[in-house]
Structure 1
Amino acid sequence: MEEDSSSSSCNLEVDVNGEEVFFVNKEILLSFSGKLRKLFGKLSGKAKNLKLIFHDLPGGAKGFELMAKFCYNNGKAEINPSNIAVLHCVAFFMEMNQDISGAAQNLIEQTELSLKEISYWSWSELIEALKQCQSFSAGADSSGLLQKLLDSVVGRLVSTSDESVSTASPDSSGIRFSCDTRSTESFKNCYARTNWWFDDLVVLNPEWIEKVMKSMVSLKFDNGVISRFLLYYQKTRLSGVTLEVKCKIAETVIDLLSSLDHSSVPYKSLFGILRVTLGLNISKSCRNKLEGMIGSQLDQATMDNLLVPSPPGVNFLYDVNLVIRLLKSFLLGGTSWVSSIRLKKVAKIIDLYIAEVAPDPCLKSSKFVALVMALPDSARESYDEIYRSIDMYLEVHGGLSEEEKTIICSTLNYEKLSVEACKHLAQNSKFPATTAVQLLSSQQSKLKSLLQETSEPIFSSELSCTYSEIDNKGYKDKDFNHIVHYAKKLDLSTENEKLKENLQGMQWRVMELEKVCRKMQNQMAKIINSKASTTPSTPRSLPRMCS
């Protein structure tokens, strides 16, 4: 460090952040730095061998050298975008807001004045200043410099997105082109230009990315572009960093994505983030946000999405607990807001998932039951798939108690089983004996419901119903004959004599139902013949029969 001719010899040794040691004139620096005046104010001017150690001086050795040159040049310095970040932060750190040397302006005033020209900086100058600030982020934040830079960056991005798309970046704002949809190449270029700034900002730390993105969201920046950047940011920054940094990046990305319009976030990408976080100890609130975003759109999921491996320490092959939580998120607020189509779509995916996890020998019966019961009964039109999964689960878990089997089988809705499933169940020795009783009771209720419907007046003044309509409702007499046939094969104990009587009653009702149907057919034929004979000359169409 060169010394002014009028000054005394160097009498202060300064160790800057362990990087470099400087020997300077104490009095020259004290005339500009309030911090040094506080430190040495009580010492005698003749004191020798003074040493000062800084551990966190902004800009390190370079920052101290720029500051010292300013002092040695009697308060004069060349300030430009390449050094203003360091000078501004050092000036605040050294409390250079006044001087006793007679200089026109102190260093803080000079850097503040230069920062007023920030709107004229090029994009690359802005990014370079931001990069410099990352090494002394605390000083940049406390001095207000960081906010000025971030505001300028966001303003530049918003203005370029509002205007016609630039060819490359805001630096070339003098020449702009609009997207010509008639040209495929032009369209591709326009799409690429929306992402031109990704690589420039991806170097910023998570805290600053959070500030930038929140500002962009508040200014109504395109959520789709923000979403793409955040996914790019995570993919680019996760390699080569510590677990702690990975957690911070993942949490920042998840928090920011949750603040966007969910339709702007690719659903498949959410599962990608989920898999990345499996080995990370992210916060519970952050994980809940991610699962909430996934669960609210569960009808878009695929089987591959849901087959997430279990976390360490859990014996299940797949993370069943996760899927149960996703289902709860999907149904959050009740089924009233979930359309029937979306609900049934989720049920199909979940039934496939249940079939996939049922053979897992480590899957507890309580988890299996919770998975089946997570959706309301109205979500499934048929329980055949659930029956097959239960059959497989009982096959693999042969050591279950009768009580556990009964609880598992209670998840079935017997009225929504096909005839084929009922036939298989009636002969299935893996199911507990009580299941057969429940099956018969269910089918008896189904038959009672049918008889109640057929007991109402069938004909009105016009022909309103035929036997074929009963067939279309699914109440065919052959179905009941199947039920009776399979029920006869059951080995019922003496305790179920009453059930046998009910079964005989069911057979009698089926016979009566057949008689009613034949009578309806005869009446229908008479009505048709009667109307045809009374109006031979004037053709008239009969009311269309239900078919």
Structure 2
Amino acid sequence: METSGLQSVSSAGNSTCAAGAAADMESSGRMAKKESSFTGWLQRVRRTGEYSDVIVRVGSAEFHLHMLPLLNASSYFRELPQTCSCASSAAGSPDSILPSVPIIDIPDLPGGAEGFSAAADFCYLVKPTFTLQNVAEIRAAAEYLGMADLLESTKKFLYVNVFSHWRFSAAFLQQYKRLNSPVDEYIESRCLKVIVLACTKAFSETKYLSAPMPLASSVATGATWQSSPSQALTEVMVRIVSLPDIYVSEVIDSLVEMQVNLNLKCRQGRNVRSWLDSVLTDECTTDKARCWMVLCLSRLLLKGAPTSRPWLELSSQYWCSLLEHLDGLMAPADEVMRNRLVPVKKLLEHRIGASLSEIDDYLHGYKFGPETLLALVVHFMKEGDPNDETVEEIAEEVDGFIWNYSGSISISTDVFISLVKAFPPQARRSHDSLYGAIEKLFIRNNNYTPEEKQSLWRLIDRSKLSPAEYERALNNPGFLCQPHILESVLQQHSEELAKVPYSDGRNLRHIMQKVINASLKLLEENSRRSKEILELQKQYAALLGGKICPSSDSCYNSPDMFRKDGIHSFMLGEDTEEASSEISEAHTVSTL
């Protein structure tokens, strides 16, 4: 029984070995049959290089090939002249008895050695393996070599794998390296056409704009997937602005020519500002992409906008939001991008400024920089509708901007002054906000020159300060040291003094002390400016009746210290001597 079992196992093993041997023989037979065919022979000699009768050099690479397949597939080789350089097939050995082999140099072949290798394989009936990385190189080589069949193969691959969807085209352009060949224009133009059509479709199908919001089902499950009616538009626009600059520019130019615009969608959605914030903050990952996005939308808006006022006929929120973001992107933009943004920014400033009184929202809701705000105000005062009511309203909002700038944003003295003086004096009922803004400027920055400080303080009209703010201002040496402020203070105190009875020496002394204190503050602040001191001394003399008392003289002998309502002189009684002594001390300081 054991013997029979062993025999059966042995016979089974023998049968298995026989089956394996038969399979190997069959495979070898197929290979032999394949090798024996003309196609198989061609592919074999392509791999081995045997029987080579021509050497093709592409750059530093050498290919040992055969003229017959090359002549059959390529018009380039068919049109070559009969004479060409030759070299020995035995690697140039002088002792070699092998026949010489012609060498064909193609140093500047588009597609390089990799493209030529695939083209050579195609001549030997080897089907190329196309990829997104090599298809352009193979097509460039095939076009240069005049291989129509290979060109057709690359075309089929491109239309299936690149030109069939805008995402494929965008991804291909993102990694594409130009070959300086006609194939560049062929591939790029078709990719851009697919992308532009997809973008145009997304614009037309967008019902309204809004930022993405979580779906109710995703909130319940804790998922983060979001959706919005403008999701498709957002996706295609973000992909476009992330492309290399040369492609983004061409797409934007095409969209502008087609007059694609979001204005109607902005009017319906009323959420354009939140959509823009979401796209630029969350979707665009680089400053350059953000710049391209704002540039694209701004150019589309300006192209489709009315040519006469009101320019903001559909959505001022859209206009102002674009300018707001464009203004913020000027700093991080490089010089080339800045040159693209500046003309568009000026156009937006012109259109928005001329219709400043027509915007839907409060102006101070936007984060405009000082220079941008000034441009808007200048355009409004020149081309807008600056009636008393609108001018007063806008001036109040501008003062709110100035207040914010003083606390956080660097603003030049010239721009600050220009923003204040852009409006007529009657446009502001109160200067309390301006006064507080100037105080904040000096607290935050101590680098202002005395001249700059004086030019800023002169913007304040003391008659438009509230009583509480005016009293506070008089305790500010910088504000008080202005000649016109001192003159008004002294005039005010002089009028108060004229109303006090001569017998009330205490009040007289109190008022005169105010005059002296104000004078001393002014002299202390301007002690380094001799011309101003001389001018102030003349003002004192005018208030004191035309003569400044020397310190050695008694004020009793000075002519007519105060003149008002026919009063030429007065007696101060018991308190006069003390008050006169204080005035004499003040005059002594002034002469120093």
TM-score (norm 2): 0.50
Q: Which moved more, 1:383-392 or 1:39-48?
A: 39-48
The aligned residue for residue 12 of structure 2 is: none
Quote the residue 2:55 is aligned against: 12
Q: Which of 228, 233, 244 is equivalent to 1:205? A: 244
Is the CA contact 2:399–2:434 (under 8 Å) kept in the aligned structure 1? yes
**1:9, CA displacement in angstroms?**
0.9
Other-structure match for 1:318: none
Give the equivalent residue in structure 1 for 2:308.
none
Q: Tell me the amino acid that sits aligned with residue 148 of structure 1.
A: R
SS in structure 1 at match of 2:367: helix
Matches of 1:196 and 1:236, distance apart in 2: 8
State which of 120, 142, 146 in structure 2 corresponds to 1:91. 142
Structure 1 residues 378 and 200, CA gap change in structure 2 (3 angstroms): same
* Aligned residue runs from structure 1 range 145-544, under 5 A: 145-159=187-201, 162=204, 190-195=229-234, 197=236, 201=240, 204-223=243-262, 232=279, 238=285, 249=289, 252-261=292-301, 265=318, 267=320, 271=324, 275=328, 278-283=331-336, 284-289=338-343, 291-292=345-346, 295=349, 302=364, 305=367, 323-332=370-379, 334-337=381-384, 347-356=395-404, 358=406, 369-370=417-418, 372-373=420-421, 377=425, 380-393=428-441, 404-414=452-462, 416-425=464-473, 428-430=476-478, 431-436=480-485, 490=515, 493-496=540-543
What is residue 545 of structure 1 aligned with on the other side? Answer: none
1:376-433 C-alpha deviation (Å, 9 max, x unpaired)? 5465342221123334556778897775554333323455444444454456543224
Residue 397 to residue 111, structure 1, CA distance change in 2 (3 Å): closer
1:436 partner amino acid: I
Instruction: Provide the C-alpha distance between the structure 2 equivalents of 1:121 and 1:364, rounded to a whole number of angstroms.
Output: 53
1:387–1:412 contact (8 Å) kept in structure 2: yes
Structure index of larger Rg: 2
Contact (CA 8 Å) 2:238, 2:283: kept in 1 or not? no
Q: CA deviation at 1:153?
A: 3.5
TM-score, length of structure 1 as denominator length: 0.53
Q: Contact conserved, 1:28 with 1:72, CA < 8 A, in 2?
A: yes
Contact 2:170 2:191 in 1 (8 A): no
Structure 1: runs of 5+ lacking an equivalent = 100-104, 166-186, 240-245, 307-321, 444-484, 506-547
| Greater helix share, structure number | 2
Please give the residue correspondences for 1:23-42 in structure 2 after superposition, counting only pairs within 5 Å: 23-25=64-66, 28-29=69-70, 42=83
Distance 1:392 1:38 in 2: 82
* CA shift digits 1:325-345 (9 cap, x unpaired): 541254237433265677656
Cα distance change of structure 1 residues 229 and 65 upon mapping to structure 2, 3 Å threshold: farther
Does the Cα contact within 8 Å between 1:386 and 1:412 map onto a contact in 2? Answer: yes
Partners of 1:86 and 1:336 in 2: CA distance: 57
- CA RMSD of the aligned region, Å? 5.8
Amino acid at match of 2:256: V
Q: Supply the distance in 1 between the matched residues of 2:236 and 2:169 (Cα, whole angstroms).
A: 10
The answer to whether the 8 Å contact 1:274/1:290 transfers is no
1:373 and 1:221 map into 2 onto residues whose CA distance is 40
Cα separation, 2, equivalents of 1:436 and 1:370: 22
Deviations 1:276-324 (A, max 9, x none): 5534433342352465377565876658935xxxxxxxxxxxxxxx513
Q: AA paired with 1:383? A: H
- Distance across 2 between alignment mates of 1:4 and 1:251: 56
